[in-house]
Structures are given as structure tokens and as C-alpha cells.
Amino acid sequence: MKYRIDVIKKLLNVACSDLPKTNIDLLKIITPEYPDRTIECLIEYTKVLSELGLMTSDDKNFGLSTGLNGHTSYFQTKIHLTHQGNEFIDKLNNEAIWTTVKDNAQSATLGLLKALAPSLL
């Protein structure tokens, strides 16, 4: 899957606000961006943000579970940015850095994100 940098930036900005945030707040970002694949994309984005060490959740699957019948259940759980996540979003919120990243990598694979994240930290 290719991950849109603008969506990653929105998700991290939501998570870094001063008020406690939950996976429902992330869902509100994903829904208008991917209306036909909301849950699938939420799973993919939270998985990659977790794998990159940028975001965690009180639940290891960010409140999503799939039953034996393939039905996905969703429950509310708190989300948290890691120290790296805070540093990463601070850099992305810098206008000069954001312009460069946005112009050169509008969408990225997991491999590119893994290479990009350390260079911004």
C-alpha cells in the first residue's frame, strides 16, 4: 500500500493535541480520505505509524479486531504519540520541510517512510 504523506501528517497532528485522543479521532480523518475503504485504511495507517515507532495505543491493534467470520469489530481506545512521533510531526509542521516532503513524496511505501522518518528526527 502507498501511504499519503498528507494523511499521515493529519493523523499525527490529531494525536499530538493537548486533549486526550482516541482511535475515533483517527477514524474521523480517514473516513473522508478513503470513504470506500475506511476501516481497511485505518488498519494500514495505524499499523505503519506503530511500526515506525511514531504512535502507540492502549490496545496493540488500535481498537480493531477481526473475528473468525472475518467481521471487523471496533472499540474506542486511547492513542499516544511517542517521543519520535512528536519530533517527526514537529518537523513535518515546519513549512520548509513540509513543502519539500510534499513536493517529492506525495505518497510513499513503507520502505520510503522508514527511510524518511530517521532523516527528519
76-92: pLDDT as tens digits: 889 999 998 898 898 88
Provide the β-strand partners of residue 55: 81
Q: What is the pTM of this model?
A: 0.83
Beta strands per DSSP E along 23-99? 55-57, 64-66, 72-74, 78-81
Is 51 a domain residue?
Answer: yes
CA pair distance 121, 118, nearest whole angstrom: 5
Task: Decide if pLDDT at 112 tops 80.
Answer: no
Is 107 a domain residue?
Answer: yes
Is 121 a domain residue?
Answer: no
Is 21 a domain residue?
Answer: yes
Is 93 a domain residue?
Answer: yes
- pLDDT band per the 50, 70, 90 thresholds, residue 2: confident
Which residues does 89 contact at the CB level (< 8 Å), separation at least 6?
9, 12, 13, 16, 54, 81
The CATH code of the domain that includes 77 is 1.10.10
Tens of pLDDT along 19-36? 778 888 998 999 999 999
**8 Å CB contact between 49 and 82:** no
Is 12 a domain residue?
Answer: yes
105 compared with 10, residue with greater pLDDT: 10
Total domain count for the chain? 1
